[in-house]
Amino acid sequence: MERILRVSVFRCIACGKCELACAFAHGREGRPAAARIRVLSQGPDRGIPLVCLQCHEAACVAVCPVGALSRDPERGVVVLSEARCIRCGVCVAACPFGAMLPEEDGRVAKCDLCGGAPRCVPFCPTGALEYLPAEAAQRGPAADGTRDAPRA
């Protein structure tokens, strides 16, 4: 079943816990600069979490010369095969949202939804990040702050 990592921007308090959870989940010793979700600060207690949109017709998938990127429609995720990646960086240049994150050694990091259990979600204290079935996610969040479903 396709699930979507829904970001409700108005709930984000820019605490940065998602960045830390991500950085730890991907074995980066908790270095927030290496996280695949980035909170763009909008003031002391407001932020915009930016993360890969897992596009249906993804530019990164279209331009990859060796098929290292592919979209799994079942899970609703664009997957990067590190074994296939040749570090050419064309996906970084082609992503219109800046969601492909280049690393110093030429590798690219991208959100993989942690294989189906995004680690950032349980750490978000305000429910700005939710991992929901596609249908529920598309209904939109309740503005009163109630959550649609228990968080993953």
Residues that bind another protein (CB under 8 A): 9-10, 38, 40, 42, 48, 50, 59, 62-63, 65-68, 81, 83-90, 92-102, 105-106
Output the smallest distance, CB 82 to another protein, in A.
9
Output the smallest distance, CB 80 to another protein, in A.
12
Nearer to another protein, 85 or 136 (CB): 85
Nearer to another protein, 82 or 117 (CB): 82
For tokens 């109630």, the residue is 146
Nearer to another protein, 42 or 134 (CB): 42
Beta carbons within 8 Å of 144's beta carbon, 6+ residues apart: none
Nearer to another protein, 34 or 92 (CB): 92
Which candidate, 15, 72, 73, places its Cα nearest to that of 45?
15
Output the smallest distance, CB 150 to another protein, in A.
25
List for the chain the helix, strand, coil content (%; round to 5). Answer: 25, 20, 55
Output the smallest distance, CB 94 to another protein, in A.
5
Collapse the DSSP code of 96 into the 3-class scheme (helix H, G, I; strand E, B; otherwise coil) and give the result. Answer: coil
In the chain, at which residue ranges do the beta strands (DSSP E only) sit? 3-7, 38-41, 47-50, 69-72, 77-80, 101-102, 108-109, 129-133
